[in-house]
C-alpha cells in the first residue's frame, strides 16, 4: 500500500508551505532496500564531504539525536558516523529534494569525513585521461 | 569478470598519484543497473543543486562534451540536462569518491537546476515535526 508522495504532490506549492514530517516519510520513494541517498555537506564551507545511505530508522535517529546515523549497506547495520573514529557529524539542517529520493545533510564535521582520514571522500579528480589523487591520507588506517 | 577497483586499491596513495581513467571506469562498482550516483554542485557558490545518476555512456559523453548528461531512470534514456529547458550544466570539474560509487560534479548551472525551475532541488527543509518548503517555483510547469 503506497502512501502519496507529499513532496511530489506539493512540488509547486509556495514557500512557507508546511507538511507533516511523518506523512512525508510515509510517502517517500525509499528504494528497494528501504533506503534514501544522503549527501553530507560541511555547513559553513560548503564542501561536499560524502554520499551515504539512510533507512527510516537512521534518519529518525539522526533527527532525534542531532548526530548523523547512516545505514551501512556493506555491514547491513546502523552506522553511527564517528562512533569508533570520533569523526562525528553534528546535524545542522536536513533537506529533501523535489521528489524525495535524496537528502542533503548540512553538518558540522569533526575530523575527516572519509574513512581514510581525508576531509572529504571526493579526492579523486578526473583530469583528461587520468584520475589524480588530490590529497594524501593523514594516516594509513583510520576508522570510519 | 570484475576488474579491480583502482580507487579502492589506491585509497592510501599520496597526493599526485595518477590513475588511467579508462581502467578506473572498468573497475567502478556500478550498481545493478550500471549506474553511479552523481551530485551536482554549483562550482562558485558551493550550493548543492541535485542528485542524479549516470551510466558509463553518460559520464563519457559528459567528459567529452563538457555538458552534463545523466541517465534518466524513469525514462530509461540519456538525459542531456537542459536540452529542452535550456537549464544546462557546464562541467567545471568531476571527482570520484574514495570507493568509486559516487561522483561530485562541480558545474556552472544555467537557470534553475530543478525541474520546478527552482535553483536547487533541495528546497524541502525538515523543521521539527514539519517539512517546510523554502522557495516558490518561479513558474508552474518548467521543463527539466
User: Cell numbers at residue A30, please?
Assistant: 525509499
DSSP A66-116: SB-EEEETTTTEEEETTTTTS--EEEEEEEE-TTSSEEEEEEEE-S-SSTT
Query: ipTM, 2 decimals?
Result: 0.95
Higher local confidence (pLDDT), A143 or A129: A129
Task: Give the Cβ contact number of residue B59 at 10 Å.
Answer: 24
Q: What pLDDT is stored for residue A66 in this prediction?
A: 98
Closest C-alpha among B84, B23, B91 to residue B54: B91
Nearest-CA distance from A120 to chain B in Å?
8
Interface test with A, best of B101, B122, B135, B138 (most A CBs within 10 A): B122
Nearest CA in chain A to B122: A97
Cβ-defined contact of B14 to A133 (cutoff 8 Å)? yes
Mean pLDDT of the region A66-84: 96
pLDDT score, position A68: 98
Length reported for chain B: 144
**Among A6, A57, A101, A113, which residue's Cα sits nearest to residue B37?**
A101
Candidates B13, B29, B95; CA nearest to A73 is B29
**Interchain proximity B96–A124, CB inside 8 Å:** yes
Q: Which of A19, A50, A126 sits opposite B130 (nearest CB)?
A: A19
Contact: B15, A135; criterion CB under 8 Å: yes
Cell of B61: 559523453
Q: Are A71 and A55 in contact (CB under 8 A)?
A: yes
Q: Is residue B95 over pLDDT 50?
A: yes
Who has greater pLDDT, B23 or A84? Answer: B23
**B19: chain A residues, CB-CB within 8 Å:** 124, 130-133
Give the model's pLDDT for residue A141. Answer: 54
**Mean pLDDT on A79-85:** 94
Residue of B nearest to A138 (CA): B12
Closest C-alpha among A98, A86, A23, A22 to residue A60: A22
- Average model confidence (pLDDT) for chain A? 95
Backbone phi, then psi, for B63, in 5-degree steps?
Answer: -70, -35
Q: Check the annotation: does A98 bind a ligand.
A: yes
- Confidence band, pLDDT 50/70/90 cuts, at residue A142: very low
pLDDT digit string (tens) for B29-58?
999 999 999 999 999 999 999 999 999 999
Taking all residues of chain B, what is their mean pLDDT, rounded to a whole number? 95
> Is B8's pLDDT higher than 80?
yes
Specify whether the CB–CB gap between B61 and A52 falls below 8 A: no
**Residue B115, C-alpha cell as written in the block:** 525541474
- Chain A closest-CA separation from residue B45 CA (Å): 8
Give the pLDDT confidence of B52-93 residue by residue, as tens digits.
Answer: 999 999 999 999 999 999 999 999 999 999 998 999 999 999
The model's pTM is 0.95
B142 confidence band (pLDDT: 50, 70, 90):
very low
The mean pLDDT value for A8-14 works out to 97
Domains of chain A in sequence order: 29-133 (3.10.20.810)
Mutate to test the interface with A, among B133, B134, B135 (most CBs of A within 10 A): B133
pLDDT value for B140: 60
Return the C-alpha cell found at B68.
552534463
Q: How much is the pLDDT for A87?
A: 95
Q: Which three cell numbers stand for residue A67?
A: 548526530
User: What is the pLDDT, as a whole number, of residue B1?
Assistant: 56
Residue with cell 578506473: B24
- Residues of chain B with Cβ-Cβ distance to A70 below 8 Å are none
Percentage of the residues of chain A whose pLDDT score is greater than 70 = 95
Strand-pairing partners, residue A96, are A103, B124
Mean of pLDDT values over B10-34: 97
Residues of chain B contacting A129 with CB distance shorter than 8 Å: 20-22
Amino acid at each position: 500500500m503506497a502512501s502519496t508522495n507529499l513532496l511530489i504532490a506539493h512540488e509547486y506549492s509556495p514557500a512557507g508551505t508546511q507538511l507533516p514530517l511523518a506523512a512525508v516519510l510515509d510517502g517517500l520513494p525509499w528504494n528497494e532496500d528501504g533506503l534514501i541517498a544522503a549527501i553530507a555537506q560541511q555547513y559553513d564551507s560548503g564542501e561536499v564531504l560524502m554520499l551515504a545511505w539512510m533507512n527510516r530508522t537512521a534518519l529518525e535517529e539522526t533527527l532525534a539525536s542531532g548526530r548523523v546515523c547512516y545505514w551501512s549497506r556493506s555491514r547491513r547495520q546502523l552506522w553511527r558516523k564517528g562512533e569508533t573514529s570520533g569523526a562525528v557529524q553534528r546535524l545542522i539542517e536536513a533537506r529533501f529534494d523535489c521528489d524525495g529520493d535524496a537528502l542533503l545533510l548540512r553538518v558540522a564535521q569533526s575530523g575527516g569525513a572519509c574513512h581514510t582520514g581525508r576531509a572529504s571522500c571526493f579526492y579523486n579528480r578526473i583530469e583528461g585521461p587520468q584520475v589524480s589523487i588530490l590529497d594524501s591520507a593523514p594516516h594509513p588506517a583510520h576508522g570510519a
